[in-house]
């Protein structure tokens, strides 16, 4: 599956300033691992050492919080858009 991932400003130093990157993945977990392959260092910013999502990072698939779906196992379809969004003040930074 080819999907697009929106990268928030604080992580763009790792993606050569790209705000939107295309990757192949079947679920959120594999998307994060694929991002790490292409942009080393990004996973430790988004995930704890045990691979779980950091407490103040939210991930959305087409605007829906993955906690309302199947968390890191949420599946991804072709052309889906994933947003990585630092959670702030109960809300989110959407860039």
Residues lying near other proteins in the complex (CB under 8 A) are found at 9-10, 45, 54-57, 65, 67-68, 86-95
CB of 1: closest distance to other proteins in angstroms? 26
Q: Whose CA is closest to 57, among 46, 72, 65?
A: 46
| 36 closest CA partner among 20, 47, 52, 50 | 47
Contact 43, 33 (CB under 8 A): yes
Report, in Å, the least distance between residue 68 CB and other proteins.
7
Closer by beta carbon to other proteins, 50 or else 78:
50
Looking at beta carbons only, is 8 or 76 nearer to other proteins? Answer: 8
**In the bound complex, what is the minimum distance in angstroms from residue 18's beta carbon to other proteins?**
18
Q: Which SS3 state, helix, strand or coil, does residue 63 take?
A: coil
């Amino acid at each position: 599956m080819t999907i697009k991932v929106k990268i928030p400003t604080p992580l763009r130093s790792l993606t050569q300033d790209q705000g939107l990157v295309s990757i192949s993945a079947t679920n959120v977990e594999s998307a994060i691992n694929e991002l790490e392959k292409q942009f080393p260092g990004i996973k430790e910013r988004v995930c704890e050492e045990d691979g779980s999502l950091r407490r103040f990072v939210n991930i959305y698939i087409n605007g829906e919080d993955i906690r309302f779906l199947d968390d890191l196992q949420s599946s991804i379809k072709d052309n889906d858009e994933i947003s990585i969004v630092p959670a702030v003040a109960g809300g989110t930074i959407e860039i």
